[in-house]
């Protein structure tokens, strides 16, 4: 098996090279449970928000790999977050469904309760995820924001994944994106 040596925020991780459902080979990055990395990345990304004076009200993420980094960023910014779930849960009051797609999960559906959706309505929202790759997840979130009347003011990710390193901070569809490190496809 081949591996990629990831260096991010002074931390080294050995990632296995795996084939995604799309057929593309990727470095298998899974931050879930990696508290050292999550805590450092959460602090770093929160500093980017403060440094760039981004006005926000709440954080939005999708389960599963986006959830722990969203929690860390929320903790550092002292704000709430909303997590779109991949399965409908019985405790969701008047759930809303939206569709999504990612390089690792393929096509999926996301669900959010009316209570959580109300936290987003007419708000400035930070979208937080583990990796920004093709932009498909973020595109889905931009569409969801338009549909549900909130604005995504920035995207925060641990890694930016692409063929060539064109920089870890960039503008995508008019929205600033801040990442901790580059990861080649």
pLDDT tens across the length of the chain (185 residues): 899 999 999 999 999 998 877 787 888 899 999 999 999 999 999 999 999 999 999 999 998 899 999 999 999 999 999 999 988 888 888 988 988 776 666 678 899 999 999 999 999 999 999 999 888 899 999 999 999 999 999 999 999 988 877 888 999 999 999 999 998 86
Burial class (CB in 10 A: 0-12, 13-18, 19+), 57: middle
The answer to whether the pTM exceeds 0.85 is yes
- Angstrom distance (rounded) from CA 39 to CA 3: 24
Tell which residue, 119, 118, 127, 105, has the closest CA to residue 178.
127
Question: Where does 5-135 have alpha helices with state H?
Answer: 35-51, 66-77, 114-120
103 three-class SS: coil
* Range 79-116 burial, b when 16+ CB lie within 10 A, else e: eebbbbbeeeeeebeebbebebebbbbeebebbbbeeb
Could you count the other beta carbons within 10 Å of the beta carbon of residue 52? 11
What CA–CA distance (Å, rounded) separates 145 from 152? 7
Name the H helices within the chain.
35-51, 66-77, 114-120, 136-148
β-bridge partners, 82: 60
């Amino acid at each position: 098996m081949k591996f990629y040596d990831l260096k991010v925020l002074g931390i080294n991780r050995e990632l296995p090279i795996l084939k995604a459902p799309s057929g593309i080979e990727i470095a298998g990055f899974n931050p879930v449970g990696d508290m050292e990395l999550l805590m450092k990345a959460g602090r770093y990304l929160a500093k980017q928000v403060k440094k760039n004076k981004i006005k926000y009200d709440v954080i939005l993420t999708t389960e599963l790999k986006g959830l722990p980094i969203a929690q860390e960023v929320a903790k550092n910014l002292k704000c709430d977050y909303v997590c779109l779930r991949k399965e409908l849960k019985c405790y969701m009051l008047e759930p809303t469904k939206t569709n999504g797609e990612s390089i690792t999960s393929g096509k999926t559906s996301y669900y959010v309760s009316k209570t959580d959706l109300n936290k987003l309505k007419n708000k400035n929202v930070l979208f937080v995820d583990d990796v920004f790759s093709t932009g498909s997840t973020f595109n889905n979130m931009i569409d969801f924001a338009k549909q549900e009347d909130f604005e995504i003011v920035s995207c925060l990710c641990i890694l930016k994944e692409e063929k060539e390193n064109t920089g870890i901070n960039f503008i995508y569809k008019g929205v600033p994106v801040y990442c901790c490190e580059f990861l080649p496809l």
